[in-house]
Structure 1
């Protein structure tokens, strides 16, 4: 709750709380996309996580991809903004190029793989697959909302 003073009295206003996450749509020269199988739920997703208060979004993307996959990246451009309306998470997705390192798992990932766009659609839930596919189309940045499972069509 946020309290503020008006000219007439003290009023109460509810302020929504959101978390900001960042993710890397890492695209290899052959068009394959970097993905992880998450350790906590076994689902395939693109590497990413919570943006720390002291870091720029591009720094957060590079850190998260490195921590989860062992791949160093060059961050290119923002390709999409995705809001989970159920959990209040806003995810910023950046297209990246691999710039070194080698694939390895971490405490957050049980597998790391380079997937074709067709494999992305097969293995990932639509709310994560669309983030990688949007990064390929060059038409971004895209702005989408979802409920954690399904995309919500824009009005």
Structure 2
């Protein structure tokens, strides 16, 4: 399914749904960040997705990391909340989503790297490699906040 992201674009269609989502900034013992390249638009993102009706935000983040990368993780903190109304996501099925995302910090517990069904690939990246990866501006902001650490971003 196709996915198009708009940011502060007057040509963006009006949202018709509001969806809570959870993502995780997963760091290994060497400080590398786990990312996956989405199959629907080809950009790199932290693993994450919509929260199911039966799970908490942190449970959703753990599930999404497993499904998209093959790693079981432990949540260790909060990177931030992201609720910018200027960010609109259009899906091929007609859904125009205003998404709000909670981004957690996590560590791998066990697993083996693999790309899930919604990913073209998954990989670990050293901090100096992240700047050249194709990424939507809202994702890059979250990555920057995760790398910086400190107090969670509340926005």
Which residue does 2:49 correspond to in 1? 49
| Equivalent of residue 127 in structure 2, options 117, 123, 128 | 117
Could you tell me how far 1:84 is from its partner in structure 2?
Answer: 4.2
Could you tell me how far 1:133 is from its partner in structure 2?
Answer: 2.2
Which residue does 1:89 correspond to in 2? 99
Equivalenced residue count is 129
Which residue does 2:37 correspond to in 1? 37
Alignment gaps of 5+ in structure 1: 1-15, 145-155
| SS across alignment from 2:83 | strand
The two structures have a TM-score, normalised by structure 2, of 0.77
| Higher RCO by CA contacts (8 Å cutoff, separation 6 or greater) | 2
- Residues in 2 aligned to 1:90 and 1:31: alpha-carbon distance in whole angstroms: 27
Which residue does 2:8 correspond to in 1? none
| Preserved contact between residue 117 and residue 133 of structure 1 (Cα < 8 Å) | no
1:24 and 2:24 correspond: yes
1:132 and 2:143 correspond: yes
Larger radius of gyration: 1
Which residue does 1:68 correspond to in 2? 68
| Preserved contact between residue 134 and residue 140 of structure 1 (Cα < 8 Å) | no
Alignment gaps of 5+ in structure 2: 1-15, 89-96
- CA RMSD after TM alignment: 1.6
Deviations along 1:60-118, whole A, 9 cap, x unmatched?
Answer: 11000000000110011111111242342101000000110000112111111111223
- Residues in 1 aligned to 2:32 and 2:62: alpha-carbon distance in whole angstroms: 18
Could you tell me how far 1:54 is from its partner in structure 2?
Answer: 1.4
Q: Which deviates the most, 40-49 or 80-89?
A: 80-89
1:101 and 2:116 correspond: no
Could you tell me how far 1:125 is from its partner in structure 2?
Answer: 2.7
- Residues in 1 aligned to 2:83 and 2:129: alpha-carbon distance in whole angstroms: 24
